[in-house]
Amino acid sequence: MRTGLVYHPIYLEHDTGSHPENASRLRAVAQMLNETGLEKQLTAIEPRPATIEELSLVHTQELISDVQRAAQEGGGWLDPDTVVSPASYQVALYAAGGVLQALLAVMNGQVNNAFALVRPPGHHATPERAMGFCLFNNVAIAARYAQTKLAVERILIVDFDVHHGNGTQDTFYGDPRVLYFSTHQYPFYPGSGSIIETGEKEGKGYTVNVPLPAGCGDKEYRQVLNEVLIPVARRFQPHLILASAGYDAHWTDSIAMMTLTVGGYAQIATTLRKLADEHCQGRLLLALEGGYNTAALAASVRATFDVLLGNPESPDPMGSPDSQGTPRGFDDTILQVKRLHGLGPT
């Protein structure tokens, strides 16, 4: 099993200071890859800057120019959550371009699957707006590239960040060739991602949101995978699976209120790999989104790589939270999602 890795020190140059999304996140992951020897098992994929044409597959010229101008003028805040430093525009080009390079490596058979460890993240960036720590939407750009340049007919995007990927949803809301599936804490930032947001026009039914109450953990996520994601994916039969890989639903992450463990993330990765093997010859690409406890992030990324490589299950140095019952509202949410999307017995 060949698993690709996109990483480059340039991703550390997006200088956000003490912002939760800062360079220490990738430093922790890079250190883990080195210390565990995982790096030697991976196929390095060299990133490149995305072109303006490639960014324009998703984003308006006005947004691209605004981000470039903000960086050239010394940086600053695009909104209360999203910061730009002098190097951020160039780094963001390499983030989008790194995911595109990983896409090409997966599609041409250089690797079976790949994980792009990039920043800034992307799934909140809409076609017209940078927001939520995100400048350009790396996964959305890769999906549009796969459609327009590689003639991929059906793409499944799985977003397991704790926040809803409003930018990705907006990009493909009317597109039946892209199935967007998201698990996220709800209600929570950015406020989108309700059950009834299912797409529009030809894309109606191709957005599947699973808005979860706070406190959901491994058991609840496993049920979502088995009862919603797997049947939805089997019905759609994707030719490529992309994942917005956010690790901020971990129980130690202070930015949210979920209770996933490292083992829970391994289960998500296992499900994605099985779906890719079943439907699209293993073609699976993950791109990093959130995850703000650096120790939990590194351990969860390690678990993900072990699944992708077919290694034995990696240890969980973080442990588990105190046991608790199923959060109120969870069962009703799953029932509603299944009814709305016609997923078997309800």
Task: Give the residue numbers marked as catalytic.
Answer: 124
Which of 86, 66, 65 has its CA nearest to residue 17? 86
* Distances 84 to 74, 79, 210 between C-alpha atoms, Å: 8, 10, 31
* Single-letter amino acid code for the residue at 270: T
Distance CA 320, CA 335 (A): 27
- Expressed in angstroms, the distance from the first to the final Cα of the chain is 38
Nearest to 138 by CA among 153, 117, 108, 155: 117
Residue 132: which residues within 8 A CB-CB, separation 6 or more?
Answer: 81, 82, 124, 125, 163, 166, 167, 189, 190
Where b means 16+ CB within 10 Å and e means fewer, 176-188 reads ebbbbbbbbbbeb
Name beta bridge partners: 241.
156, 284
Burial of 87 (C-beta count, 10 Å sphere; 0-12/13-18/19+): middle
